Every structure is written in structure tokens, then in C-alpha cells.
Amino acid sequence: MNNRISSAAQVMPSDRQLSLQAMEFYAFVHFTVNTYTDQEWGMGNEDPSIFNPAEFDANQWVEACKAAGMRGLILTCKHHDGFCLWPSTYTEHSVKNSPWKNGEGDIVREVAEACRKGGIQFGIYLSPWDRHEQTYGDSPMYNTYFTNQLRELFTNYGDIFCVWFDGACGEGPNGKRQVYDWDSYYAIIRELQPNAVISVCGPDIRWCGNEAGHCRESEWSVVPATLRDNERIQEKSQQVDDGEFARRYSSEDADLGSRAVIQHERELVWYPAEVNTSIRPGWFYHAAEDDKVKSLDELLHVYYGSVGGNATFLLNIPPDRRGLFHENDVVRLKELGDVIRSTFTDNLSLDASVQASESMDVHGASSIVDGNEDTFWCPHEGTEQATIDIDLHREVTIDHVVLQEHIRSGQRIERFDLSYYDGKNWKPLYQGTVVGYKRICRFDAVSSRHIRLTITESRWCPTLSSFGVYSSQ
């Protein structure tokens, strides 16, 4: 094996990246003046008096998210219209000049507190593009404005698990495009919220490349370092003609991490994918979409492709004009959570016996069924192919196998097969490519006592921290 592949196998995540991947599934909440104008992108000239969510209940949001199995919530604290859901001291374009709670309310505070009360994590979306703020386009002045608002959010609302930046960048009142000072934004986040991941226009989590929930067959967390600048470069390249910003790979590319892609890259980084889509056609609430909530099958398809395909799943739920998640959305979220819980609560492999073709002394095969994500199996270094046999001690009907690598040690597995023993012969069950944090293998139900995992391709040597067996019957 060449040195490039060996080094790729040893690129590892940060603690904050590990924590985010373990969250798996969390909510996006788009809420602003657009909710009241029936728009997707506001112009920035909306009167704050239109914002009046008289029945607003952050606890209702959190309970609906928990019913779906979500572990966090990211709120659009300020979208492109510049309207702030907290009483920012740096602008009048905020809830403090709305009739809601007579201008004394703070949506961000109530949502943050509801998340803490409900036991899920709180994150923020803050649009760098601001169609209301007059200093936008005067780059130094606006960057100061933006960093002041970041400081408000990072010091007044408790722990924040994620800061979500998109790269939208239009012209300001002066006809100029703003040059975002990303490095100063990142520095403030690292200073005030060191455990927060910075997503999309940031170095920790990357955009999957679409807003439709489409997922790659092979989602690598180890990718060319140039992808870290991908979304923010699209914005910068509109302002300056600089060859340094030329890039070979796009977020939309189908292959971002195969051997062919990384073979000649100078620098590789751990940069896992997040799949984002909305439960409705739009990102903000529109009454005309009340009967267009995604079906349970559509949501499960995205869940299996994202959470089950080494990515996280960020699902948007837009509150309505009352300040509540609509009843149709709430029902669908619970349906989704019920299926996830009923399928994955009972792991049938926890008392199984395991035999591996080869194991390193301190990383025996039994580690994959001990329920401890910190222990793992691996063969000797340099062994790229291996076989693991699982004996469930009884014949059971199964239709899911969940594999997890020990990603603290890197991402190694490139291709694998699952098979089952029918009492006479081994029969094929599932073929897959990458595993990473989690691969959910879904197949037609079979009854068997014995399951075999054959790792046919890997980098340096594979690892496996968990082998879960489930039935949705």
C-alpha cells in the first residue's frame, strides 16, 4: 500500500467533530419576518410590527423534535433579511421593535432554554448576508457589526453546539459586495464557544452539496483540504479574480474521497458531511404547503441515506404564524421517531459470539458486540481484508445490520459484504462501500443464527467498534 493511502487512513476527527457525528439527527428551524410575508428570502425592508407569534411555544418545538429522535435544534437567529430574533443592541431591526410581548421578548433565549430543559442541544444560524444593515458592503464596518452580534449570541445564551453559516452574498446599499472576514468570525467562535462546530462555511462540517436530501453511496469523511474553502470561495470568487481560489472539487461531486481522488492530494482533512432538507417544499412556513409535508417514506429514505450513510441529518421544520410547528409536521415527526425507535431499540447481537479471521491482541473481535463505542476490533497493521462471523446463539428474523467504525482512529473500510447462513449455505445479504461513523444496512427479512461480514477493501487496516443486528418486524 502506498504512503498516501496509509496517511489517509490516519486522518482523524477533532473531539467537536466526533460529538457532532454522534448527534446524528437534529433540527433546523427557519423563522423570521418571512413567515408573515409568505416569502423565502426577505428584502430587509419589512416592518418589525408584522412579527407577532402570539402562541409561540419553544417547548412545543423541542418536544416535537424529541419525538422524532432529534438531539439538537439550530435556529435561524438572523436570516438574509437582517431581522434579529433577539433584542440585539446593534440594530433596531429586531424583536425589540415588534408587538410580540410588547417588544420585551427574546425568541433565541426561549428556544435555548427550552432546549436545555428538554435535554437537547442548541445551535445558531446567523446569515452573513444582511439585506437590512446599511453598513453591509462596507466590509470593515459590517464585519465589526457581524462580529459584535456573534459575541452577543455566544455570551448570552449558554452552550452552543453548532454555528451554521451559509455563503449567500448579495450587494449592499452601496452596490458593493461584502468581503466576509471568515477568520475573525472563526476566532470569536473558538474563543467563546470552543466546543461548537462551524458548519458549511466553516472548517468542521461540510454541506452535502444539495438541499433535497440526496445522499452519496460512498460518503467519505476524509477529503481534500481544498473542500474546506469550497462554499466561502464561491462567495469570494464573485469579488476578486484570484487563481489561488481555483478548486478541483465541488460539494456537488459524486466522489470526494476515493483512492482515485485522494491519490495526488497534498493535504487531506477530516470534514464530514451534513445532509440538509426541509420537511416541506419551502424553508419558511407557507400555509399553501400544509398538505405538502414530506411522507414518512420520504423522510426515512433521507434518514437511511444520511445517518445510515456516514453523514448527519439536518431536517428543517418551519414554525407557522402562531409560533408553533403545524399539526401536520408534528404528526409526521412522531411517526418518523416511532419507526426509528421501534427498529433500533433492541440490538439482537449484544450476547453474540464473534470470530474474526485476524485480531490485534488488545482489539479482539468481541469488542464489536460489547455495547462500548470506545472499544473496537482491528486486525494487524497492513491487513486490509478480513472476515468476521457472528453467532447469535439462536435463529432470529432480521432486516437491519448497523456497522460502526472506530472513527477516532480514522475511516478505513472501503468495501464490504454481508452474508447469512441458511442452514446449508452462505447466502448474500448486502453489499456496501464505506462505513465510517455509521452504515445502516437494510435488506429483506431473513431468518438465521449466523451472519458474516467480509471486508474486501480497506485502508491500512480496518476497525469496527459496533456490529448491531435489528428487526423492524
Q: Residue 244: is its pLDDT beyond 50? A: no
**Predicted pLDDT of residue 232:** 67
**Predicted pLDDT of residue 274:** 95
**Residue 2 binned pLDDT confidence (cut-offs 50, 70, 90):** confident
Closest CA to 84 of 193, 11, 157: 157
The C-alpha cell that represents 275 in the structure block: 445532509
Q: Write out the H or E segment, with its range, that includes residue 455.
A: strand 439-458
pLDDT in tens, 49-79: 999 999 999 999 999 999 999 999 999 999 9
**Predicted pLDDT of residue 171:** 81
**Residue 249 binned pLDDT confidence (cut-offs 50, 70, 90):** low
**CA-CA distance, 259 to 155, in Å (whole number)?**
43
**Predicted pLDDT of residue 239:** 34
**Residue 214 binned pLDDT confidence (cut-offs 50, 70, 90):** confident
**Predicted pLDDT of residue 1:** 54
Averaged pLDDT for residues 427-439: 98
pTM exceeds 0.85 for this model = yes
What's the chain's average pLDDT?
Answer: 93
Residue 426 β-bridge partners: 421
The CATH code belonging to domain 3-344 is: 3.20.20.80
**Residue 243 binned pLDDT confidence (cut-offs 50, 70, 90):** very low
**CA-CA distance, 337 to 300, in Å (whole number)?**
10
**Predicted pLDDT of residue 416:** 98
Averaged pLDDT for residues 271-288: 97
Closest CA to 315 of 13, 16, 23, 40: 23
Averaged pLDDT for residues 281-288: 97
Q: Residue 237: is its pLDDT beyond 50? A: no
**Predicted pLDDT of residue 253:** 85
**CA-CA distance, 224 to 226, in Å (whole number)?**
5
Percent residues over pLDDT 70 in the chain: 96
**CA-CA distance, 363 to 370, in Å (whole number)?**
12
Closest CA to 68 of 339, 340, 337, 343: 337
Q: Residue 36: is its pLDDT beyond 60? A: yes
**DSSP state for residue 6 in the 8-state scheme:** H
Percent residues over pLDDT 90 in the chain: 86
**CA-CA distance, 54 to 31, in Å (whole number)?**
14
Q: Write out the H or E segment, with its range, that includes residue 231.
A: helix 230-236
pLDDT in tens, 340-381: 999 999 999 998 999 999 999 999 999 999 999 999 999 999
pLDDT in tens, 96-105: 999 999 999 9
Q: Residue 242: is its pLDDT beyond 70? A: no
* Amino acid of residue 61: W
Q: Is 317 left (phi over 0), alpha (psi -120 to 50) or beta?
A: beta
pLDDT in tens, 322-344: 999 999 999 999 999 999 999 99
**Predicted pLDDT of residue 241:** 30
Averaged pLDDT for residues 230-250: 46
Q: What 3-state class would DSSP assign to 125?
A: strand
**Predicted pLDDT of residue 240:** 33
Domain ranges of the chain: 3-344, 353-470
**Predicted pLDDT of residue 234:** 44
**CATH topology classification for 353-470:** Jelly Rolls (2.60.120)
- The answer to whether the CB of 437 falls within 8 A of the CB of 361 is no
Averaged pLDDT for residues 276-302: 97
Of 145-159, 223-237, 271-285, 425-439, least confident by mean pLDDT is 223-237
**Predicted pLDDT of residue 209:** 80
Averaged pLDDT for residues 406-434: 97
Averaged pLDDT for residues 424-431: 98
**Predicted pLDDT of residue 250:** 78
Q: Are strands 386-404 and 353-356 parallel, antiparallel or unpaired?
A: antiparallel
**Residue 208 binned pLDDT confidence (cut-offs 50, 70, 90):** confident
**Residue 254 binned pLDDT confidence (cut-offs 50, 70, 90):** confident
**CA-CA distance, 464 to 173, in Å (whole number)?**
55
**Predicted pLDDT of residue 5:** 87
Q: Write out the H or E segment, with its range, that includes residue 468.
A: strand 466-470
